[in-house]
Chains A and B, each alone.
Chain A
């Protein structure tokens, strides 16, 4: 059992939890993720390590409630425990002094981009960050991101905060003013796809973090298959970060819909009182 030390509501349906997992905290690196299973009946769901504290022995996760598993998880409070918590999984981000870099985070994707941004900043890069959300309420980690960026641009779709528009609008502007060594973009698939299209025009290497459906997270099942550069890769062990210009985005979007009907059934079955919580 893995105890939740604290919990914070960051916005509507957006939650942060600090979980006690000392062995994972000792090893965690930016870019990696954990898989958790809340209880005996639950799914295994992957969530990025949004932060880790080696001294405290904790891992921070930030998640958006989008379906059954994340909504159930959101009901837990500080002091409650998660049944299974495994990691750190996936390859760590490539961190070096590339020179000038841009870190882009969209929606809950700001959470995974944050530790990478911090590491790049600490490695000596000149970091420009762009974070965005649908509206002000859904914007997360602004202060944290500001601390590890030389420049921070905030975008909201509805203009309720920062500038109005998509992160790609800001990205295009920034890229046309200066040259950058690489772009790191994490967010919804549509956003990462759009970012990759923009950076391709400018010929800037772009790293994205893919979030396909997973089961084991150790390379055993192949549920997380993605196509990169025409080759099939397992995102849980070969990724989750890949070259955005090489990713087959249409396939990734298609595969994300594989269990749509079932996900709805599972969500509707919630709170039906049929589940015995021992």
Chain B
């Protein structure tokens, strides 16, 4: 399967080296990570599929422009430490990105090998070297430049805030992150489940950033305990806002406030951040019935549906207005959800939630849909089929139809321009907002997007903040 091409071995296998994974029947009974990660052998074999293209089209798909062929070449040479060093030039959170980036629509989408065969498993390789480094205790804490005497406040500790913090710290600035919750990490800790992204990994990556010198203050709701203006007045020379898209949307259909209806945020926060899956050792409760319907089909919905199974639901449904093709979730998550027995009710959406006398959910009235013409987003829009009402028996409903920007910071920062959807208006290249010294990036600017885009925004803003601080 591998042949010598010049002096480089090339693996012509059409498919990615398979990812060792927990058996679906076993894993739906635990919260341990599903994908176990490549072995050294797997990684080298997969690395040999890379053509080391001169132009490296893959790089254009990576929002932080990792030198993909260079790091893969090092894996091929078994220089794993060199590979991770190459990645870390651009990305401080490789163990996270390797796991959760939607590679099929980013780096791997442009991979040349992917034209005919499966693309090179760039994400899995990135994860492999990051894990390798952690396992071998070789994590090098980068050393910041000498102190500039400038202070920067970062609001929110999701990927956008953490990346901006790390980069600014490297540039020699004195950085403090303010986080509303009791644990830093944003969606990485409260949203994405343990079985997809172990919290220990997030914690370790954050510890590395702290070791560099970034200070993190939890339990600080900016807009309440301190405002952005107060931060600026109290000696911070610049502020970066990375507060994410944390406001859950509901459908505004009758019955949505019955007991048994959760927002995905509540459902996942109880399980992940508060560790309700280990109730009553951890005392935050979560109620999961026998039949759970999750409305929506993004990553959030897949996470909720798969969490429900692990919490003991007998049946877990994805209920989605469009068809499989339009589902916004990462391919791998959809595949994993199928393997685990999540049932997909496509072209279906609830119009009312029904409850028993005690106000507990007993089912939903649903409508069936068909697909019409493509809308502005290019996706074919769903059209309800008249008279198609039917009853779906469920006792738990999780709304995973999207999140908006939390208004706490904009509301308390009067001269900060926001758009009609409530997102902060910021220059996509610099993160500059309408308010001098204040920058923003990540989901709070773009609306709910991806980890790596939030990180990219944090990086760009860090550069712009550095330039700005130089003018003071």
Contacts and interface: CB of A to CB of B under 8 A. Distances in A.
Interface of A: 23-24, 27, 37, 41-44, 68-69, 83-89, 215-216, 218-223, 225, 227, 232, 237, 251, 254-255, 257-259, 261-263, 265-266, 269, 274-275
B248 A221 contact: yes
B280 A23 contact: no
A23 B225 contact: yes
Among A218, A225, A237, the one with the most B-chain Cβ atoms within 10 Å of its Cβ is A218
A89 B224 contact: yes
B250 A232 contact: yes
B85 to A, nearest CB: 35
Contact of B283 (A69, A218, A222, A261): A69
A42 B280 CA distance: 10
Contact of B221 (A86, A215, A265, A275): A86
Contacts of A68: 283
- Name the prevailing secondary structure of the A interface residues: mixed
B371 to A, nearest CB: 30
Contacts of B246: 218-220
Interface in B426-446: none
B280 A269 contact: yes
Contact of A84 (B190, B219, B408): B219
Nearest to B244: A220
- Name the prevailing secondary structure of the B interface residues: loop
A209 to B, nearest CB: 17
A274 B287 contact: no
Contacts, number: 119
Contacts of B248: 220-222
B180 A218 contact: yes
A7 B181 CA distance: 26
B263 A221 contact: yes
A27 B283 CA distance: 30
B270 A84 contact: no
B165 to A, nearest CB: 20
A258 B287 contact: yes
A29 to B, nearest CB: 10
B266 interface: yes
Nearest to A275: B281
Interface string B257-286: 111101101100110001000011111111
Contacts of A266: 279-280, 283, 285
Contacts of A223: 262, 266
Contacts of A41: 281-283
B126 interface: no
Nearest to A84: B182
Nearest to B258: A254
Contact of B257 (A89, A227, A259): A227
A225 B255 CA distance: 12
A44 to B, nearest CB: 7
A23 B287 CA distance: 35
14 contacts: A27-B226, A42-B283, A86-B180, A88-B225, A216-B180, A220-B265, A221-B266, A222-B263, A225-B257, A232-B257, A254-B258, A255-B259, A257-B259, A265-B279
